[in-house]
Structure formats: C-alpha cells, structure tokens
C-alpha cells in the first residue's frame, strides 16, 4: 500500500505545481489593474480620459472572461462508441500485437467515422484509454486522457486546448494582446515623462515604468503566438497537425481537413457572427468527426446512410467523400463557393485519378 500512497501524494503535488503558471499570470494581471487604475488614474489623477478608462475595463473584462473559460472548460473526450466493449478488450489482450490486433481494430472501426491512420497505415488506437482514436484526437500525457481535436496542453491555463475550448483560447490570446497594447500605448507618454523627470516624485513612477515594460514585453510574445494560431485556423490545422501532418489511407496530407478560409473560420467560431467575439461555445460539430477536402473515399469505411447520395456535391458539382458526418458539420460541404476547380484537378493528379 505504501507505493500507492506515495504515488497519490506525488500526483497531488503535481496538480498543485501545475497551477503555478496560472497563479503567476493572475498576479501580474491584478497588479497591472492596480498600477493602471489605482496608481495611474486615481491616486495621481493624471490626464487619462474617462473614455480610456472605460476602454481599459472593456479589454480587461473580456480578457478575464476568455481566460476563465479557457482554464475551466473541461476538454471533451471521445464518446462511448469509440471505446472498446468488454468482449473486445478481452480479445485485444489475447491476440498478439501486430496484424492480428490490427484486424480486430479494423473490424471495430469499420462502423466508426474514422479516416486518419498512423504513419504506417494502422488504425489509431490508445492503449491507456482502450479506444479507437477519432480523427484529430490525441492522448495527453499530462491529463492522461484522449482529447478531441487536441491542439496542445498549455501550462499557462493548466488545461488541454482542444475542441471544447479552442475558440476561448484564441479569444484569450486576442484580448490579452489588445489589453497589453492598449496599456502600453496609453502609458507611453507617462513612461517618457519618467525619463525626462516630468512626473511628480511619487510611488506611481515605478508602477508606470514597470507597467510599460511588462505590457510591451507581453505584447511582443502574444502577437507572435496569436498570429501563429490565426494562421492555423486559416489552414484548419492544430498545433500537433502543423508539426506532423495527419495521415490518411493515401498518405500524410497536411491540408486534409482544410475546407477553404471561410469554412475553416466557421468551423471554430460557428455560423452566427454575433457570437464570434464572445467567449461562448459556438464551434461546429461534435469533435468526433470532421469533413475533409479529400476526393477519394476510404474503401474500408461504410457508405453513407440510406437516403443520402454516395457523394456530397457543392455548387460546382464537385464530388466529396461520403462520410457519416454529424448534421451540424455536413452543411459545410454543401455551401457555395468551395474548392475551386483547379484545386480538385490538383488533388486528382496527386492521387493518380484520371
């Protein structure tokens, strides 16, 4: 029992340590609020206008809201249909690793909307969670769970960034960047006065100096990170997929899930633009299946349910793979102005189609 108790204490200590980066960010933000509002605007009564003070609070509230949602939104895990049944688990334990195990996994996955493979072409399976991984799902070693559309595990929010909170993470980056830029811009004139001895000799002088340095420093790092994730959204890729392209039966394809800029944006932010800038969940789909731009259908997957055509076509009559997509996602493939004709031609040449 001693090793078990020791392991429990170790895990508890790790959970506490994981909150240190979040605590650090929270302290910095609280201090910045005190330095700007109390010291800069109220105590020294400097010429910061009411409009600036209102704008500051708008950025502060939106930043805090998005940060809170990113931290405390629980990452989504694969649904029960992807978990192995008790009988299948027993079979997996009895069969040898290799082709026999893959044959069993192919039988289990044949009725699931799974189209990605390992780099060797095998079914993606998680030994720890004992499930067939949905497309874009990965196992997080920190959370010790499989996370739907996992992007990365972020220590600054002590949470996995994935399907359920990726929009919140993007808004957190956007509003924190705006907050830092606004703080640095409105504090700049007083920062210059500090070095020209134009400020009264009070405690606020040091808050003004460090506030500008902190806001400028975070602005630089946040702008590069936010720009990178905007690029990922435009390409419909996660951070993991940017480093290792998802593999399909025909091979790795870094643009396999890209539907065009507009559809890629809507997949993260949803169809209703009035909610795009609010930290409320509006992403399309269920996180277990995703439409792709691939032309050739996976022969091992089942055909579309009865009543549907064997291929979905857009306004230009271009065929797309018949997939058991969820209703909230399938309309992405049916809307107009998607995949120009030359792109389809390039895909055909790539896959050796006539």
Facing residues of 117 across strands? 247
User: Is the CB of residue 140 less than 8 Å from the CB of residue 154?
Assistant: no
Q: For residue 273, what are its two tokens? A: 């633009």
Residue carrying the six token digits 């793979």: 321
Residue that the structure tokens 């990178």 belong to: 228
Residue 345 burial class via C-beta count within 10 angstroms: exposed 0-12, middle 13-18, buried 19 and up: exposed
Backbone angles phi, psi at 252, to 5 degrees: -70, 140
Distance CA 52, CA 160 (A): 35
CA R_g for the chain: 25
326, 286 in Cβ contact below 8 A? Answer: yes
Main-chain dihedrals φ then ψ at residue 160, nearest 5 degrees: -80, 135
154 counts as catalytic: yes
Instruction: Indicate which residue of 126, 129, 146, 154 is catalytic.
Output: 154
Give dist(CA 295, CA 292) in Å, integer.
9
Q: Report the half-sphere exposure of 261 (CA within 13 A, side-chain side).
A: 2
Closest CA relative to residue 301, chosen from 114, 81, 99: 114
> Does residue 322 contact residue 304 with C-beta atoms inside 8 Å?
yes
The residue count of the chain comes to 354
Residues 244 and 221 sit within 8 Å (Cβ to Cβ) = no
Report how far residue 97's alpha carbon sits from residue 80's, in angstroms, rounded to the nearest whole number. 24
Map residue 114 onto helix, strand or coil.
coil
Q: How far is CA 152 from CA 75, 155, 239, in A?
A: 11, 10, 7
Spatial CB neighbours of 342, under 8 Å, sequence gap ≥ 6? none
Which residues does the annotation mark as catalytic?
154
């Amino acid at each position: 029992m001693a090793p078990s108790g020791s392991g429990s204490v170790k895990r508890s200590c790790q959970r506490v340590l994981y909150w240190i980066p979040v605590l650090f960010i929270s302290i910095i933000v609280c201090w910045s609020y005190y330095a700007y509002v109390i010291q800069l605007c109220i105590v020294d009564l400097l010429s910061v206008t009411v409009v600036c003070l209102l704008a500051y609070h708008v950025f502060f509230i939106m930043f805090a809201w998005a940060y809170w949602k990113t931290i405390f939104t629980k990452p989504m895990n694969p649904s029960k249909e992807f978990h192995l049944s008790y009988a299948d688990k027993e079979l997996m334990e009895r069969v040898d690793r290799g082709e026999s195990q893959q044959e069993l996994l192919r039988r289990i996955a044949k009725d699931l909307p799974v189209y990605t493979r390992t780099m060797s072409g095998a079914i993606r399976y998680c030994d720890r969670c004992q499930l067939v991984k949905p497309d874009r799902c990965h196992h997080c070693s920190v959370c010790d769970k499989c996370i739907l559309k996992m992007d990365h595990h972020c220590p600054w929010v002590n949470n996995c960034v994935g399907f359920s909170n990726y929009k919140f993470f993007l808004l957190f980056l956007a509003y924190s960047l705006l907050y830092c830029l606004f703080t640095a811009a409105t504090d700049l004139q007083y920062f210059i006065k500090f070095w020209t001895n134009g400020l009264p000799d009070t405690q606020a002088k040091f808050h003004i100096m460090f506030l500008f340095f902190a806001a400028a420093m975070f602005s630089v790092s946040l702008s590069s990170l936010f720009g990178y994730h905007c690029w990922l959204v435009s390409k419909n890729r996660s951070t993991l997929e940017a480093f290792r392209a998802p593999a399909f039966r025909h091979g790795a394809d870094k643009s396999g899930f890209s539907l065009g800029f507009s559809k890629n944006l809507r997949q993260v932010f949803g169809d209703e633009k009035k909610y795009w800038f609010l930290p409320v969940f509006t992403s399309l789909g269920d996180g277990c299946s995703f439409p792709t731009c691939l032309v050739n259908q996976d022969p091992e997957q089942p055909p579309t349910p009865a009543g549907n055509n064997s291929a979905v076509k857009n306004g230009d009559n271009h065929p797309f793979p018949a997939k058991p997509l969820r209703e909230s996602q399938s309309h992405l493939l049916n809307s107009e102005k998607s995949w120009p004709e030359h792109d389809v031609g390039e895909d055909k040449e790539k896959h050796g189609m006539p």
